[in-house]
Amino acid sequence: MRRKRIAAGAALAAGALAVTGLAFAPAALAVTPQTATISADCGTFGSGEATLTATQDGTAATVTVKSSAITAPIALGEDSIASTLTLVKSGGGTVDFTGTQNPAMSAGAPVEVGPLSGTVASGDSLEAFGGSLRMTVFGITITCTATGPQSPGPFVFD
């Protein structure tokens, strides 16, 4: 009987420690705002509004870019676009988000790339204006630039 009480007590103690650990675990890091819009110019490939969506997990961050104003020039397979999104740091310098992820797109479909991966530091404030999005498809590089600051403002990482 004594063993059962010790085992039950140990189980209760372990459960209490687990609950305490959850209560004091650090909150998930977040980026604000999570979504921003820009007006982008991609030269002969189109121009118009694009939406950037950012996420953060520690120092790892991702950004996805979608635009119905900028369209695929030809049908594109899934994960066939090599992309680099360069965002400008408020204190100087840049951060690159890279990847080859994209959904399959038919000719004329809205362009979507990402999530593109990058590394951020706590307090980084990143803006698309002054940076660029380079997409390489079948050896052809398309460069898009923001024509003004993103709205509602830069991404600030915790």
Strands 94-99 and 60-71: unpaired
Residue ranges of domains in the chain, CATH in brackets: 31-153 (2.60.40)
**Residue 95 pLDDT:** 98
The 10s digit of each residue's pLDDT in 22-43 is 333 444 568 999 999 999 999 9
Name every residue whose Cβ is closer than 8 Å to that of residue 91 and which is 6 or more positions away in sequence. 125
**Residue 8 pLDDT:** 39
The 10s digit of each residue's pLDDT in 84-126 is 999 999 999 999 999 999 999 999 999 999 999 999 999 999 9
Return the closest-CA partner of residue 146 out of 36, 17, 29, 7.
36
Residue 96 near residue 85 (C-beta atoms within 8 A): yes
